[in-house]
Amino acid sequence: MQDKSVLAWWIKNPIAANLAMISLIIAGIMSYLFSVEKEPFPKVNLSIMDIQVRWAGASPRDIEDQIMIRFEEAVKNVEGVKSIVSNAGEGWTRISITGEERVDRRKFADDIRERINSVNGLPADADRPIVTERTNRDQMIRVALYGYVDELLLNKVAREVRREVAALPLISSVGITGDIGEEISIEISEQKLRQYHLSFDEVSNAIKNNSVNTSAGTVRSDTESYTLSVRSRAERQADFENLVIRHAEDGATLYLGDVAQVVDGLMANKRFSSFDGEPAVLIDVLNSDYMNIPEMSATVREYIAQKQSQLPDGLKLTVWEDWNDTYQSRIDTILTNAVSGLILVFCLLMLFLQPKVALWVTIGIGTAFAAGFWLLPSFDVSLNMMSLFAFMMVIGIVVDDAIVIGESIHRKHEEGFHGAEAAYQGVKEVSKPVLFGVITTIVVFAPMAFLPGSTAEFTRAISIVVVLALGFSLFEALFILPSHLRHLPDDDPHRKESKLETLRKRFSNIMLWLANAVYKPTMHYVLNYRYIVVAIFIVAFGLSVKLLNDGYVLESFEPKIEADTIRLNVTLPENAAFERLQQVLEQMNRGHEKLDAYIAEHHEDDGSGQHYAFVEHHYSQIRGSRIASYLKLVPYQERAIDTETATRLLTEFIGDIPDAEEIEFKATLNQRDPKVALMIQGEDVDAMARAVADLKAHMAEYENVYLIRDNLDKGSKELVFSLKPGAESLGISLRDVGTQVRQAFFGQEVQRLPREGGDSRVRVRYSRLERESIDSIYQFQIRTRDKREVPLLSVVDVEIKPGVSRIQRRDGKKTVWIWAEYAGNDAWRVVKKIKEDFIPEWRKRHPQVNLGKRDGSHNKQQFMETVYHYEGLALLVCYMLMAIAFKSYLKPLLIMSAIPFAFSGAIFGHLGHNVHFGAFSMLGILAAAGVVVNDNLVLVDCLNKLRAKGLGVFEAVLEAGTLRFRPILLTSLTTFVGLVPMLSGDTEQAKFLVPMVVSLSYGVVFATLTTLIFTPCLYLVGTDIVKGSIRLFHYWRDLDKVKS
């Protein structure tokens, strides 16, 4: 071999090839151990700004008028604003501003802050707006601290645990859930106010004046300097009780403790938290900038084991949720299936090729993957469920290059070439189709790195993994593998063959027999009926499209992944009494008990006579008007029923909650939204209520649609004060009435004390008993400026009116969502049917409202439309690359003709396995398309070379198929066999991969038939058309000559 090309250099320098392989493997291992981030899902960069304002005691209507609308108007014209979602409740508002996908996040954030800071005229007693850039901080590990102890002690230890966990290695952000803030409540009864002729203003001013720490500068003497300061701020209950309120003329002193009860404790709000029935606080470990979830989990668990013995009596600490469990199970599943697949691939190659070829082809796959691991950190890609999914998906493509080159070298050896010459000739013969096969596959997957929206990080991880694996597999197959195969052993007729060698030769001969004695004569016959064959394949493709469109193959954007926790969230009106919140929680708990009883009754135990467990732990929380109940389930293998069935039963057992504003049930990891979701917008609340009721009634008529609910404000009652005629003559204004009523019932904040865990507010107000009784209104006294006391009801009229507990707006319009669950995975068909069959009539009945442009499937449709657009451009680029390579406009179309049949095979596979078709299925089809394009490239390249040698069209087509029968069949068989472990696995961890595996495996099998049968027939049909066109052209030209 005299060639001095790069390829020849690598073949003649096996040491360089071995060092390159070893270096890539070591680099991959080191990167996996020390550099690659390990997290459940990729971090998502959000272009969302949140504005939060607290206006204690203010109604939602006042907040909407005086804060919310002003902020919406201020930011709506900021460049890059995509949507504005606003919510307001009693005493608070939150406005979320989402930017366009390609917006400059830093400039967008600065512009929003600037606009918000420029808004003037906000209520004087409202807090300053807090503007934050939303970060994707998910809870990775949740630790429960629980036990029957004093609430103050529970909160104190929880803050201690939080502080210590935050100091652990790899952990940078820790939150806390279920804790109750501290406050000092100075409670004065109406009777005491009247007894001492006091007002809330006088008490508040006395506290502000006498509880104070102030620095007053410094003074110097001849020898030193002194700091001047006042240190009399009250810190604890006794300090406040000793504050002077008033000095009487007779010298007596009136202390705060004489007129008020000082309560130094927890905030008296609607909060409750329990774990397995005991009071609890959750400590949440959030994801950090650098993630290593296995080590984070091990560190936290080690801390818990050490901390247990240090806890006060009655307190326990345990891990409640740990994403590492899910992460590790997915990794174990994928690695187990990948290793099993590689072993099967190796065994299959051993049957048809020499053991050395099979061994080095298999090692080459591992080398390409190790090299991919090496560069993951450089592209800011972590080892997560999506990148693992990509590695699993690309196995079927990576193996093709090595098989095609390995088989070519093996064949050259069988043809009489030896050593480096056999390796060189083998690689040279197929290098062009292999090179362009990899390039076209990279082009197909590359656009996924540039998709817009929140899914970009997920698709980007897949794209980069595929591109890296394919790039390194190409390098390994072209330069490293040939060096390893340069010394294939020659057949020695005198050497005694082993049983393995005898078996290999038998299978190899079977493969040759299939190619020459079965395939070749069959194709000779089939090619004579090429038009019928082409028509059959086209009909098969049309049938697959019809199966999908007509619903025979069910669709789901993403496969359901059962969660280990069922989450139930119920939101009541803002003014719901705490007792009502507790009643709803008890109703939910009874539903849990009924579910346990149902499972125990309808499912056999394991033979031990023990009760069949379904729920392992139970966490409940009441916070404001929201009730949460989370059921941690036993491991998947031990569950009597699936989580979706359990969730549906749970909704039946819990029953109706008529005053609920929102109800959310979630039992999957990946499907966050309800399956059916419709948005209604308008300004007339009553009209919106009628429209919502009408639409919900129609949705209830659909089979399998259940748990229909909405977030329409259920309203509350307001006591509205108005001045009676003549009240002004007493010097009383409506502002005086509002201020004094607010002081009494909500309270006036006079100080904030820094304490561990945050500021503790000091409020002056009525006693708790008086605050919670409507009778206090009848006893209430208004204090005039001349210190007279006037009964409230003598100067104001009180009217009970319907109020608002919550206001929701989207892009400047009031908004209501209707949600429903659906027992199936084609909920989009229900939404489509509602829009087509009912919405036109519904609009006529309710002209004052509109159906919003966004529904539950909006983002998914937008995602799929973008994918189709990008992939269409990618296919166009592939066509141009192959047109340049083959110097033909038609041959690239011939090569790409197999892609639609990869889709057909995937559809037939989904139908046979009863798997839902979705986004993961499309990824599998893309991978299958890469395999079949490689096969077609190999076939067409061989055909071109035979034609260049002078063979006729028919003979060249027949001979090319026969020569390439073994590598094409081997690539398809190895792809399919490598995926068999995943295809046959029934673990929950593998279910989310099944649609991709079905698409790839069946797409490759069906498209292989396309390559071996349809493509040769289509080539001849194309040749016939070209010849016919030439004859027709000559005919018309000759006819014109005759006429002239």
Task: pLDDT band for 731, please (50, 70, 90 cuts).
Answer: confident
Is the pLDDT at 10 greater than 60? The verdict is yes
Task: pLDDT band for 824, please (50, 70, 90 cuts).
Answer: low
Sign of CA dihedral 1005, 1010, 1016, 1019: negative
Q: What is the pLDDT of residue 1034?
A: 67
In terms of Cα–Cα distance, which of 350, 593, 466, 464 is closest to 926? 466
Q: What is the pLDDT of residue 855?
A: 53
Query: In whole angstroms, what is the distance from residue 735 CA to residue 741 CA?
Result: 10
Radius of gyration in angstroms for the set of CA atoms belonging to the chain, rounded to a whole number? 37
795 and 886 assigned to the same domain: no
Task: pLDDT band for 491, please (50, 70, 90 cuts).
Answer: low
Q: What is the pLDDT of residue 544?
A: 93
Query: In whole angstroms, what is the distance from residue 581 CA to residue 626 CA?
Result: 8
Query: In whole angstroms, what is the distance from residue 860 CA to residue 921 CA?
Result: 14
For residue 737, what are the domain limits? 189-259+716-803
Is the pLDDT at 325 greater than 60? The verdict is yes
Report pLDDT digits (tens) over 974-1030: 878 877 777 776 555 567 778 888 898 899 888 888 999 999 999 999 888 888 877
12 and 99 assigned to the same domain: no
- 594, 688 Cβ separation under 8 angstroms: no
Q: Looking up tokens 């008296």, which residue turns up?
A: 268
Position 851 in a domain: no
1033 and 917 assigned to the same domain: yes
Query: In whole angstroms, what is the distance from residue 582 CA to residue 1020 CA?
Result: 77
- As a whole number, mean pLDDT of residues 251-274 equals 82
- Better-predicted residue by pLDDT, 715 or 353: 353
CATH of the domain at 647: 3.30.70.1430
Report pLDDT digits (tens) over 362-411: 888 889 989 998 999 999 888 887 888 788 777 767 777 788 888 888 78
Position 508 in a domain: no
Is the pLDDT at 437 greater than 70? The verdict is yes
- Better-predicted residue by pLDDT, 604 or 475: 475
376 and 469 assigned to the same domain: yes
- As a whole number, mean pLDDT of residues 637-645 equals 78
Last residue within a domain, chosen from 116, 135, 154: 135
- 650, 566 Cβ separation under 8 angstroms: yes
Task: pLDDT band for 715, please (50, 70, 90 cuts).
Answer: low
CATH of the domain at 144: 3.30.70.1320
- As a whole number, mean pLDDT of residues 339-366 equals 82
Is the pLDDT at 573 greater than 70? The verdict is yes
900 and 938 assigned to the same domain: yes
Lowest mean pLDDT segment, chosen from 18-27, 275-284, 505-514? 505-514
Query: In whole angstroms, what is the distance from residue 493 CA to residue 501 CA?
Result: 13
- As a whole number, mean pLDDT of residues 658-674 equals 73
Backbone angles phi, psi at 670, to 5 degrees: -110, -20
DSSP secondary structure, 255-281, as one string: EHHHH-EEEEEE--SSEEEEETTEEEE
Last residue within a domain, chosen from 650, 668, 686: 668
- As a whole number, mean pLDDT of residues 941-960 equals 89
Position 680 in a domain: no
229 and 98 assigned to the same domain: no
In terms of Cα–Cα distance, which of 287, 82, 109 is closest to 859? 82
Largest CA distance in the chain: 138
- As a whole number, mean pLDDT of residues 563-571 equals 86
Position 41 in a domain: no
- As a whole number, mean pLDDT of residues 864-873 equals 81
Is the pLDDT at 86 greater than 90? The verdict is yes
The residues facing 816 across adjacent strands are 680
- 371, 28 Cβ separation under 8 angstroms: yes
91 and 196 assigned to the same domain: no
Lowest mean pLDDT segment, chosen from 247-251, 576-580, 928-932, 1038-1042? 1038-1042
Task: pLDDT band for 918, please (50, 70, 90 cuts).
Answer: confident
Q: Is 860 helix (H, G, I), strand (E, B) or coil?
A: helix
Is the pLDDT at 968 greater than 80? The verdict is yes
Of 89-103, 293-307, 474-488, 505-519, the range with the highest mean pLDDT is 293-307
Alpha helices in 418-477 (DSSP H): 419-445, 456-475
Percent of the chain with pLDDT over 70: 92
Position 847 in a domain: no
Backbone angles phi, psi at 175, to 5 degrees: -110, 180
- 763, 748 Cβ separation under 8 angstroms: yes
**In the chain, what is the straight-line distance between the N-terminal and C-terminal CA atoms, in Å?**
62
- 56, 103 Cβ separation under 8 angstroms: no
- As a whole number, mean pLDDT of residues 658-664 equals 82
- As a whole number, mean pLDDT of residues 495-511 equals 75
- As a whole number, mean pLDDT of residues 678-684 equals 89
Q: What is the pLDDT of residue 450?
A: 79
Q: How many domains does one find in the chain?
A: 6
Q: What is the pLDDT of residue 546?
A: 92
- As a whole number, mean pLDDT of residues 96-114 equals 88
Position 745 in a domain: yes
DSSP secondary structure, 139-189, as one string: EEEEEEEE-SS-HHHHHHHHHHHHHHHHTSTT---EEEES---EEEEEE--
Query: In whole angstroms, what is the distance from residue 436 CA to residue 421 CA?
Result: 23
1010 and 908 assigned to the same domain: yes
102 and 165 assigned to the same domain: no
CATH of the domain at 548: 1.20.1640.10
Q: What is the pLDDT of residue 430?
A: 85
Residue type at 190 in one-letter notation: E
Query: In whole angstroms, what is the distance from residue 376 CA to residue 31 CA?
Result: 8
Position 199 in a domain: yes
Q: What is the pLDDT of residue 289?
A: 79
Q: What is the pLDDT of residue 601?
A: 77
Task: pLDDT band for 859, please (50, 70, 90 cuts).
Answer: low
- As a whole number, mean pLDDT of residues 908-912 equals 91
The residues facing 626 across adjacent strands are 571, 623
Tokens of 891: 């041959």
Is the pLDDT at 823 greater than 80? The verdict is no
Report pLDDT digits (tens) over 525-547: 999 999 999 999 999 999 999 99
Query: In whole angstroms, what is the distance from residue 283 CA to residue 168 CA?
Result: 14
**Beta strands of 547-675 (E only): which ranges?**
562-571, 615-623, 626-633, 662-668
Last residue within a domain, chosen from 741, 774, 803: 803
Query: In whole angstroms, what is the distance from residue 20 CA to residue 28 CA?
Result: 12
- As a whole number, mean pLDDT of residues 416-431 equals 85
315 and 176 assigned to the same domain: yes
CB contact set of 479 (below 8 Å; sequence gap of 6+) = 6, 7, 10, 17, 20
Query: In whole angstroms, what is the distance from residue 524 CA to residue 262 CA?
Result: 100
Is the pLDDT at 931 greater than 90? The verdict is no
Mean pLDDT of the chain: 84
CATH of the domain at 759: 3.30.2090.10
Task: pLDDT band for 74, please (50, 70, 90 cuts).
Answer: very high
Position 711 in a domain: no
Report pLDDT digits (tens) over 602-625: 765 545 444 567 888 899 998 888
Is the pLDDT at 136 greater than 80? The verdict is no
124 and 90 assigned to the same domain: yes
114 and 29 assigned to the same domain: no
Query: In whole angstroms, what is the distance from residue 853 CA to residue 857 CA?
Result: 11
Q: Is 30 helix (H, G, I), strand (E, B) or coil?
A: helix
- As a whole number, mean pLDDT of residues 487-498 equals 64
